[in-house]
Structure 1
Amino acid sequence: MAYYDEKISFFRRQVVQKKHNESKLKELYTQRETLNIKADALRKDKLDEQVDVDRLEGHSLTAFFYNVIGKREEKLDIEREEAYAASVKYDVVSRELSAVNEDIKFCEAELRELHECEQQYAQAMMDKLKAIKSIGTQAAEKILRAEERISYLEKQVKEIREALEAGQAALETSNSILSSLDSAEDWGALDLMGGGLLSDMAKHSHLDEAQQQVEYLQVQLRRFKTELTDVTIHTDMQISIDGFLCFADYFFDGLLADWAVLNKINQSQTQVQNIQSQIEHVISHLTTLLSATDKSLENEKVVLNDLIVKATITD
Structure 2
Amino acid sequence: MNFYDEQLRLLQEQCARKKKLEGKQIELYNQRSTLKRQVAELKEIMAAEQEDVDRLEGRSLAAFFYRVVGTMDEKLTTERQEAYAAKVKYDAAVRELAGVEEDIKRCEAELAGLEGCESRYESVLKEKTQAVKQQGGAPAQEILQLEESIAYLESQKNELQEAAFAGNAARLTTDQILSSLDSAEGWGTWDLFGGGIVADLAKHSHLDEAQEAVEYLQSQLRTFKTELADVTICAELQVSVDGFLRFADYMFDGIFTDWVVLDQIHHSQQQVEETRSQICNVLGYVNAMIADVEEQIKENKNRIESLVHSVQM
Q: TM-score range by the shorter chain?
A: 0.5 to 0.7
The whole-number CA distance in structure 2 between the counterparts of 1:283 and 1:183 is 27
Equivalence for 1:190: 190
- Indicate yes or no: 2:282 matched with 1:304: no
Secondary structure at 2:232 match in 1: coil
The secondary structure found in structure 2 opposite 1:139 is helix
Give how far 1:159 is off: 1.5
How far the C-alpha of 1:298 sits from its partner, in A, is: 0.7
> Is the CA contact (8 Å cut-off) linking 2:132 and 2:308 kept in structure 1?
no
Higher deviation after alignment, 183-192 or 223-232 = 223-232
Q: How far is the alpha carbon of 1:304 from its aligned partner? A: 1.0
In structure 2, what is the equivalent of residue 152 of structure 1? Answer: 152
Q: Which amino acid aligns with 2:267?
A: Q
Residue ranges of structure 1 left out of the alignment (5+ in a row): 3-127
Separation in structure 1 between the aligned mates of residue 244 and residue 267 of structure 2, nearest angstrom: 10
Query: Does structure 1 conserve the Cα–Cα contact (< 8 Å) formed by 2:181 and 2:269?
Result: yes
The alpha-carbon deviation at position 134 of structure 1 amounts to: 4.6
> Where in structure 2 are the equivalents of 1:1-315 lying within 5 Å?
132=132, 134-135=134-135, 137-233=137-233, 238=234, 240=235, 243-244=236-237, 247-248=238-239, 250-252=240-242, 255-257=245-247, 260=258, 261-311=261-311, 313=312, 315=313
Q: Which runs of 5+ in 2 are unaligned?
A: 5-127, 250-257
Q: What secondary structure is seen at the aligned counterpart in 1 of 2:229?
A: coil
Deviation at 1:221, TM superposition (A): 0.5
1: CA distance, partners of 2:155 / 2:136: 32
Structure 1 residue 294: deviation in Å? Answer: 1.3
Q: Report how far residue 253 of structure 1 moved.
A: 7.3
- Quick one: distance in 2 between partners of 1:218 and 1:131? 53
Amino acid at match of 1:220: Q
Normalising by the residue count of structure 1, what TM-score does the alignment of the two structures yield?
0.52
| Larger relative contact order (CA 8 Å, sep ≥ 6) | 1
Query: For residues 295 and 130 of structure 1, what CA distance do their matches in structure 2 show?
Result: 24
State the alpha-carbon separation in 1 of the partners of residues 294 and 245 from structure 2. 45
Judge conservation of contact 2:134–2:140 (CA < 8 Å) in 1. no
CA 1:286–1:200: 2 relative to 1, 3 Å = same
- Count of residues in correspondence between the two structures: 177
- State which structure, 1 or 2, has the greater radius of gyration over its C-alpha atoms: 2
Q: Summarize the Cα distance change of 1:138–1:159 in structure 2 as closer, same or farther, 3 Å threshold.
A: same
Q: Distance in 2 between matches of 1:231 and 1:289?
A: 10
Give the superposed CA RMSD. Answer: 2.4
**Aligned partners of 1:201, 1:262: CA distance in 2, in Å?**
15
Paired with 1:276 and 1:136, the residues of 2 have a C-alpha distance of 53
TM-score by length of 2: 0.52
Deviation, structure 1 residue 254: 5.8
List 4+ stretches of structure 1 deviating above 3 A: 128-138, 250-255, 257-260
Three-state SS of the structure 1 residue aligned to 2:230 is coil
Give percent identity, aligned residues only: 45
Amino acid across the alignment from 2:139? A
Task: Give the residue type in structure 1 aligned to 2:208.
Answer: D
| TM-fit CA distance, 1:152 | 1.4
Please tell me whether the aligned partners of residues 156 and 231 of structure 1 are also in contact (alpha carbons under 8 angstroms): no
The alpha carbon displacement at 1:195 in A equals 0.6
**Aligned amino acid, residue 246 of structure 2:** L
Q: Deviations over 1:183-230 (max 9, x none)?
A: 000000000111110000000000000011001111110111111122
Distance 1:252 1:141, change over 3 A: farther
CA contact (8 A) 1:251 1:271 kept: no
Q: Deviations over 1:25-70 (max 9, x none)?
A: xxxxxxxxxxxxxxxxxxxxxxxxxxxxxxxxxxxxxxxxxxxxxx
Instruction: Tell me if structure 1 keeps the 8 A contact 2:190–2:199.
Output: yes
Matched AA of 1:278: Q
